[in-house]
Structure 1
Amino acid sequence: MTIPVVPAAALAVPHGFLGRQGGVSEGIVAGLNVGLGSQDDRAAIAENRRRAVEAVLPGAALVTLHQVHSPDAIAVTAPYADDSRPHADAMATATPGVLLGILTADCAPVLLADRDAGVVGAAHAGWKGALGGVTDSVITAMEGLGARRDRIAAAVGPCIARASYEVDDAFFRRFCEANPENERFFLAGRAGHHQFDLEAYVGARLAAAGLGRVELLGQDTYANEAAYFSFRRATHHGEADYGRQISLIGIPA
């Protein structure tokens, strides 16, 4: 089965936002599950990762992180083993043949590129990392490799949409205390609850950082079960595990 690769018009380098279709995993993580933190068969995960790489930048070396919902970004100069993954949530590289991979299952994947400088970046922006500044961190990491923020284009990929993302008053207050203007990313819901627009928040952080172009894909991981894995949906269904999809960007060798 051909792996569907969703591109972003803003990014003029090899990249793609992948979903759950086209993989070999079975059961509740059926499809293209690439999550090493899942209970899935390791051989299936390895095959899914191989297929993902071949769909975006054949022959490249895949680099992923041990994601911890931090604001931390690293520079990648060479590939490393999966069991040596750094604890961080964003990365940048100027090394040809390296393919950066961000895993998500409702959080927002962000891919970035300064094509003129030959520098790319990728970030895992859940609410905690986004609020903490993970997108600012990856931009800074890219600048350290020669990128210029007014030339950087960014795309926010499939993530949980506002209609699917209910949060409580404490969550709402946390964002508004950080910046009163953040109230615009919430809609009132049932008593004591709000609907949060993670994608719009991440996009606004990228725009405020002075990037040259920001694109939002507008795809809801929670609502589209056939196309995407979703942690919140799996939780609501009482499932014991959940799959992760991958978003990829790299520089040809």
Structure 2
Amino acid sequence: MTAPEPFRARLLGAVPHGFLGRAGGVSTGLYAGLNCGIGSDDDAAKVAANRDAALAAVAPGACLLTPYQVHSADCVTLDAPFAERPRADALATATPGLALGVVTADCAPVLLADPVAGVVGAAHAGWKGALAGVTDATVAAMDALGAARERIVAAVGPCIARASYEVDAGFRARFLDDDAANERFFADGRAGHARFDLEGYVAHRLAAAGVVRVETLGLDTYADERRFFSYRRSTHRGEPGYGRQIAIIAVG
């Protein structure tokens, strides 16, 4: 197995972090590469080996913690490993030795840090969680741990890009009902449809929460099969399963 090579964000600098793709890993078939999804139908031992490899590439020696993701706006604050994964879509900590992770397969992984306060966060922002405020909740949890919003830096990792994300009129209406200004995140498509900029929307929500420095990696999970897993791509092909990539951050 070749060692995974994380995508890193310039703004996060020396904070231990990485957005992993498919590269490296021991999974095969539909899950070929670094599938880190516990909830997938991949062999559990292979998933465990992949997660170990991903952690070693980002924060060797740390304890990797990932939530049981449910497309919510909930963020859980941690100061020790948990015995059972919480049903939530974001984690925050100021405790050294804990590595926070989220898995995605088109949704947006968001990693956040206040390096001065030693506080980090990780969020899984699908459209439901993003609209409900999962990034707002993560920033608030970090704030409660001593982070300053003006010092927090954030990065939005590989996710489905607008060019690949066709949605129907009902989807668009949810966002416009929340805020008419969200129109700017949609581009007209075929009749009754539009294309949604998830990455741009998540970056906007971070900025609205007071995070003034946000980096977007601009990597499309749907279009780049060689490097990323994609739920929508697998669905369009009628495949019975799909892998998940992981994003990890730890206190430096």
Which TM-score tier does this pair reach, normalised by the shorter chain?
A: over 0.9
Q: Which amino acid aligns with 2:10?
A: A
SS in 2 for 1:207: helix
Aligned partner of 1:244 in structure 2 is 244
Q: Distance in 2 between matches of 1:2 and 1:32?
A: 10
1:9 aligns to 2:10 (yes or no): yes
Q: Which amino acid aligns with 1:169?
A: A
Aligned partner of 1:80 in structure 2 is 82
1:51 counterpart (50, 53, 71) = 53
1:163 aligns to 2:133 (yes or no): no
Q: Which amino acid aligns with 1:54?
A: A
1:206 aligns to 2:202 (yes or no): no
Return 203-212 or 236-245, whichever deviates more: 203-212
Q: Please list, as runs of the form range in 1=range in 2, the aligned pairs for 1:84-95 lying within 5 A after superposition.
A: 84-95=84-95
Q: Distance in 2 between matches of 1:77 and 1:26?
A: 35
Q: Distance in 1 between matches of 2:48 and 2:173?
A: 41
CA RMSD of aligned residues (A): 0.7
Aligned partner of 2:132 in structure 1 is 132
Aligned partner of 1:20 in structure 2 is 22
TM-superposition CA deviations, 1:173-218 (whole Å, max 9, x none): 1100000000000000000000000000000111111113100000
Q: Distance in 2 between matches of 1:59 and 1:210?
A: 32
Aligned partner of 2:43 in structure 1 is 41
1:179 aligns to 2:179 (yes or no): yes
SS in 2 for 1:243: coil
Shift of 1:144: 1.0
Aligned partner of 1:100 in structure 2 is 100
Note if contact 2:3-2:53 (Cα within 8 Å) is conserved in structure 1. no
SS in 2 for 1:67: coil
Shift of 1:126: 0.2
Structure 1 length-normalised TM: 0.98
Shift of 1:79: 1.3
Structure 2 length-normalised TM: 0.98
Q: Please list, as runs of the form range in 1=range in 2, the aligned pairs for 1:220-235 lying within 5 A after superposition.
A: 220-235=220-235
Q: Distance in 2 between matches of 1:237 and 1:73?
A: 33
Q: Distance in 2 between matches of 1:53 and 1:70?
A: 25
Q: Distance in 2 between matches of 1:221 and 1:127?
A: 15
SS in 1 for 2:129: helix
Return 205-214 or 55-64, whichever deviates more: 205-214
Q: Which runs of 5+ in 1 are unaligned?
A: none
Shift of 1:4: 1.5
Q: Which amino acid aligns with 2:77?
A: A
